[in-house]
Amino acid sequence: MSAAMADTGDISRARICIDFGTALSKAAVCLDPTLPLEVGVKPLPIGAISGAEHPLLTPSVVYVDGGRLYFGPVGFDHARRGVENGRDPLLSFKTVLGAKNLDEALATKIRPSVDPTGTFTHRDILVVYLAYLDQLIAEALELAPNMPPGTALARRRYTSPVWRPGSGIEAVFERIFNEAAAISFKLGRQLLSIEGVSIAQCRDALEKAAANPADGMLETGIFEPHAAAAAALAFTTEPTNHVMVFDMGAGTTDIAAFEFDERVDPPTLSEIKEARQCSALAGDEIDRILIELMMRKAGIEKGKEEEARATRIARLVGRGLKHELMRTGRTALKLGWRTLQVRAQDLQEDERFRAYLAALVRTIAVSLQAVVPRAEAMGAPVVDIVLAGGGAHLSFMPQLVQKAGESINTNVRLRIGPLSPINPIYEGIDPILANVFPQIAMSVGGALVEMMPAR
């Protein structure tokens, strides 16, 4: 932190970016985009405040139980105990953020398996969850070292899975942030309590916030691949003119490509629109394939009560099963007195998984076909393929991208690797963040990036 900032507490150029991941939420602060990266940009330890497994990640979970709402890891624990009662947590907010008809999606009631009381709409839950995140961010800023006074009042950004032209505030999200700020102020640290918050208190807070919203300090939304590309270019030691982001999250795989032009001042990062894709070939689909494979191997019949119970349990732990399988070559799911086991070879031989990989290769190839000719036309020797999101560390990802590249006849080299310090071109990233940086890259890049112009 600069001495001037430390002395004056000047936060006029500071901004905080929130990434509502399908599985995990993250946040980062940029104190000043003109400061050196190691000083000016910091991920926030919201997971440390929420009690999550990783200090920088907190589960995107809300759970309704016994007339109360529970958030994050506490909600997840309640969800595990609710399996026997046919209950589900609300695991993702990104489906709402990316909806084509946003007003309709926000007004939709939460399904009964999540909210049996029929009290809340998706908008209600998003507002209350954002208030919960606001409390996490406030405490994380107090925990983080060398934060200037008043950083909690910095402008807010959020990452979005869809590109909304222009860089101004969208009225619908401004209103959501404003109401969340009012609820955060009213309920305070109670939102972080293991006791949760009563439905009556939430309903009352929502009604009062709608009538008298506060200032949520929202600046803008950031297109997620744009944020990842900005982070890649900020931290790379070998910048290129063309960057394609392959962001595999839990709910969607987003692909987008950008041209970096440093011949102008300031340098520009422009999207190659023809390369943009949003696909359901994502982490959750791998989880579904893996879970169904385990059911078949165990002889569990579809439509039976045992299958419904097993599926509900597996939804809560599916990501852990997948990562254990990729890391160790085998995984197991305990289901009462039974243990369902599967090996990596079983998954590799599964017809559905093979079809999934083939479809993903074709999807990647379509985007590459929009990027590589532009690199050739500029005489650029390299296109960076940046692997981001929770799927960045899946062992088969680089090979899939390489296979897609082989379908294109070109001399342009594809430099494929995760947005992580384990990749030698990103040595500027703190090595401590090696395993987590692909997941926090959107919040980090979203905090530091300048806006793309409307096109």
DSSP state of 280: S
**135 and 176 belong to one structural domain:** yes
Q: pLDDT (tens digit, 0 to 9) for every residue of the chain, 455 residues total?
A: 333 344 445 778 899 999 987 788 999 999 988 888 888 889 999 999 999 999 999 999 898 888 999 999 998 888 877 665 666 666 666 677 767 788 888 899 988 878 888 899 999 999 999 999 999 999 999 988 888 888 999 999 999 877 655 444 478 899 999 999 999 999 999 999 999 999 999 999 999 999 999 999 999 888 888 899 988 888 888 888 999 999 988 778 889 999 987 776 666 788 899 999 988 888 888 888 888 888 888 777 666 666 666 666 666 677 777 878 888 888 887 776 777 788 989 999 999 999 999 999 999 999 999 999 999 998 999 999 999 888 888 888 999 999 999 988 889 999 998 888 788 878 777 888 888 888 899 999 999 887 544 33
**328 and 379 belong to one structural domain:** no
**150 and 164 belong to one structural domain:** yes
**163 and 248 belong to one structural domain:** no
- Closest by CA position to 346, among listed 299, 396, 293: 293
**276 and 296 belong to one structural domain:** no
370 within 8 A of 272, measured Cβ to Cβ: yes
Domain end position, chosen among 217, 241, 257: 217
**275 and 245 belong to one structural domain:** yes
**246 and 338 belong to one structural domain:** no
**158 and 265 belong to one structural domain:** no
**370 and 319 belong to one structural domain:** no
Q: Is residue 29 part of a domain?
A: no
SS3 90: strand
* Alpha-carbon torsion (19, 122, 391, 335), positive or negative: positive
16 within 8 A of 216, measured Cβ to Cβ: no
Backbone angles phi, psi at 276, to 5 degrees: -70, 130
**244 and 314 belong to one structural domain:** no
Beta bridge partners of 157: 17, 220
**127 and 256 belong to one structural domain:** no
Q: Is residue 453 part of a domain?
A: no
In terms of DSSP H, where are the helices of 30-121? Answer: 37-40, 46-50, 72-81, 94-97, 102-107
Q: Which residues contact 399 (CB under 8 A, 6 or more apart)?
A: none
**383 and 250 belong to one structural domain:** yes
Q: Is residue 187 part of a domain?
A: yes
Q: Is residue 210 part of a domain?
A: yes
**DSSP H or E run through 338:** strand 338-343
Range of the structural domain that residue 342 is part of: 283-351
Q: Is residue 39 part of a domain?
A: no
Q: Is residue 21 part of a domain?
A: no
Q: Is residue 23 part of a domain?
A: no
Counting beta carbons within 10 angstroms of the beta carbon of residue 67, is it exposed (0 to 12), middle (13 to 18) or buried (19 or more)? exposed
404 within 8 A of 213, measured Cβ to Cβ: no
Residue 7: CB atoms within 10 Å: 9
Domain count, the chain: 3
Q: How many residues does the chain have?
A: 455
Q: Which residues contact 191 (CB under 8 A, 6 or more apart)?
A: 71, 128, 131, 132, 135, 184, 197
